[in-house]
Structure 1
Amino acid sequence: MLFPPRIVSVLLPQPLPEPFDYELPEGVDAPPGSFVVVPLGPREMIGVVWGERTVPTNRRLKPVLEVIATAPPLPANMRSFIERAAKYICAPMGNVLAMAMRSREALDAPPVATLVMTSGQAIDRMTPAREKVLAEAAAPMTGADLARAAGVSSGVVKGLLDAGALMHVERSLDPPFPLPDPERPPRDLTGEQKEAAGYLRNMVRDNTYRAALLDGVTGSGKTEVYFEAIAEALRRDPDAQVLVLLPEIALTQAVTSRFEDRFGVAPAEWHSAAGSPARRRVWREVAAGRARIVVGARSALFLPYRNLKLIIVDEEHDQSYKQEEGVIYHARDL
């Protein structure tokens, strides 16, 4: 029996208003959100599967060349956001997708380091040098670091590996972000701060789309107030993600330290000064839902959130939230 070809619509990060159709080779699976490599004229490009259909077509379609298995899929809510944003700002969908695909390195699997640690296997021949190594080998580390910590030569470590007392383990160089603790006690709030914080907490509890403006002079404690809204969002949903947008000039160590003081861990940071490894880690951790608090400039709006529950636009009047080149938009409005 002949089956109709499987056709997928693929959106490309180009100034295109809609996805293009491609034929999915037999035996290949590419659900919506998958990153794929497809031909476009003489070039090969990376795009996102936007949908699938089995409607017969008389057109001869080009095939999907590759499914990028190492890339986490673009979540359905993010694909919907791209569609809505494109309509709202009157921009081609492909251009909006391009803003969500700025971190090309994020599609590749993170590099891994090969470390050594104790295997728990007993061996017959022990020496004082070997005992020193095993005493230091409870946690994974490089062979060189282990030898240095134990004060022995690298040959002793190699001998224990050969004997089976040590084993190799692989660890990603992009470790997961630690979970924030919303139950850490906040700073003492004034009466007005408590009233504002209570209002924001109630908004979060309603679990419906609402907006509020928190007004106050510089130094009045607005940050401590919206921290309580963040804490409430994290309490109510163990998988909730929170985005805090800040003007790029305000993304300082002092600001991120305040988040760490309140929630016990530093937030995931996204800004133009971040290097490729940092961007890869944040992008993939956001897509996996493990980056729970994200602090970033306007482009952080286009990260692939799985479960975004709360957005805070700090200093929302700041002009840096408006992009005036390429795709023109205001982050506050999107």
Structure 2
Amino acid sequence: MAALFSGAVYGASTIAAGVYLPSTIINQFKFQDWHMLQTSLGAVASSAYGYVKLKPRSSSPIGLFGQYDGNVIGGFLLGAGMALSGSCPGTLFAQVGAGLRTGFYTLGGAILGGLAYTGYVAQAAKTQREKAGVQPETVTLDENLGLSNDTTVALFESVCLSIIGASVAYTTGSDWSIFSAGGGLFIGLSQLFSILVRRSMIGISGSFEEVGNHFWWLTRDAPWPTSRQNTLFAVGMTSGAWVLAKAFPSFVKGHVVETEPLLAGVGGFLMIVGSRLAGGCPSGHGVSGLSLMSTSSLVTMSTAFAAGSLVAPLFH
């Protein structure tokens, strides 16, 4: 029940923050609307303030070209998938809850991505990792910079707030209403709720890995999957988004620009394979990982943003 409640709060927060719209994600990658970045950095900054004592995220090495090669490759696929679909592993559940067609097509592709990852990609990555003899490492930004944790967090907060301020002052296309201004805070508070209720930070892409594990258990006689918490979180997220959209219709835009079904499906597939290779998605790495000063999260999300910025103008 804790996972369901936490997911419901996060789903409602995503709708309230206004980052569930496909156009918001796509236009951010095209540098035409800065709402997604503003909200994301606000969520990270509000999370980093209180959660620095939890365990940071480790790297996701594959053994091809460095300790963070899985984060780079996975981040690239994640960003490309987000740019194609106008969604992400977390917002797609909010899109489904709000009744957006894009969310359903992206969900279909994402489920196939989860099946592909658990059935083939994960084993191939494991084989390559063992062949190369590499192991995940947990390194934080303060360790890389040679600074204290408190100093690094303060610098990180300053950078986040500076980027938010600059994007508001010097760009156009952002609907800087009271809800967009507090959008990041909504998500940051849902992070706090998740920690208090289920002793875990936010992360959503693992739900597709759980679905894949159950599928292969049924079809290949694979071991019985023991984890379903991420799937319950995803169900809760969809429910929370649906409830808020029905209770407060003003949160849902009247006219929504949907993504083409093929792009949404392919994007969903790519972003799930990528997020699992990288060990997390914009929720797990972007909100949770960066708030813990995880180097792997910075590598993943920087690569994802760069990839999305390359792909979005080509297809939209």
With the length of structure 2 as denominator, give the TM-score of the two structures.
0.20
- Give TM-score, length-normalised by structure 1: 0.20
